[in-house]
Structure formats: C-alpha cells, structure tokens
Amino acid sequence: IYTDVDSLTLNQIMTRVADELPQAVGVNNHMGSKATLSDSLMAGLARELKRRNWIFIDSRTVPLSRGLPQMKRADVLSAGRDIFLDFNRDMNVIRDQLTKAVNIAKSRGWSIAIGHVRKNTLKVLAENLPEFENDGIRFVFITELLETIVRHKDNAIAESSK
C-alpha cells in the first residue's frame, strides 16, 4: 500500500488480496514504512481489516509507526513484532535472532518473530525448533497467540508456556 492510496483503492487492494489468498487471516507491513507513518492511511486500513475480521502485525520497520495505535482504536486484533529473524541471511545471525525471540518468550511469556521464506531461515528453524520445544517453548500461529492474549489478558500465556 502506497501513501497516495485513497479509500476506494484500498478497498480494491484488500478485496484482491482476499480473493487471491483466501486462506489469509491478516496482513503485516513488511514494506510500507512510509505508509505506517500516516494516521489516515492506517485508520483506513484498520477499517478494512475490521470489516474482514483480519489481524494486523506491525513489522515495526519505523519507530513512529501509527499502525498499532490505529488498529487499537478500530478494535483490530494486532501486535508488533519483537524480532526480525533474517534481516541478515547468515545462518548464525538467524540462529541468534531466534534465540533472542525465545528468551523474550521465556521472560514475558510470549514473543513475535517474523522472517522471510528463505532457505537459510527455514533451515535454522528446522534445526532448532525441536530443541526449543523440548525446553517447553511452544510455537503457534499468530492468530492463536493474539486470541490468547486478548482472552487471558497476557497472564495465561506465561502460565501455558511453563
């Protein structure tokens, strides 16, 4: 979504996304840092997401993103990422980022990590997820995490991850 998008075009874009990806449950702003700085654009996106009952994950590509405040105002299920797994394609960096995400989850009860569908990212995940799961870390779809946060006001997540 570009900053010059009007509400009609935004609706058309979201309709196309829904048609092309019927399994979609929400969106994130992997690209679009400039767009997330716009209250009006994020409010328009929030209306579209609310209408579809979709979620929003703010990739936090800029520190002053207006995405989450506008989603909250529109009562759209949303959250911001904690860790970007593969800003660097090096497997050691990805592994370190995954460890950071797990450490946040151990401390807070949950974390949100995002990444690309890339060979090295998938390889690191495949190699490391079983070990983390053996340590009691549960990897879930974002919809489950967000629904749990809302339903249990953050407390149940810490309890269920023990």
Q: Report DSSP letters for 99-146, one per residue.
A: HHHHHHHHHHS---EE----HHHHHHHHHHHHHHHHTT-----HHHHH
Q: What is the pLDDT of residue 134?
A: 93
**Cβ atoms within 10 Å, residue 99:** 13
At 158 the pLDDT is 39
Whether the Cβ atoms of residue 36 and residue 42 lie closer than 8 Å to each other? yes
Alpha helices in the chain (DSSP H): 7-20, 39-52, 67-73, 91-108, 119-134, 142-152, 155-160
Q: What are the phi and psi torsion angles at 58 (to 5°)?
A: -85, 120
pTM: 0.85
Pairing of strands 78-80, 55-58: parallel
Q: Do residues 29 and 61 touch, judged by C-beta distance below 8 A?
A: yes
Per-residue pLDDT of the chain (162 residues; tens, 9 = 90+): 888 899 999 999 999 999 999 999 999 987 768 999 999 999 999 999 999 999 999 999 899 999 999 999 999 999 999 999 999 999 999 999 999 999 999 999 999 999 999 999 999 999 999 999 999 999 999 999 998 887 765 444 433 333
Q: What is the pLDDT of residue 159?
A: 39
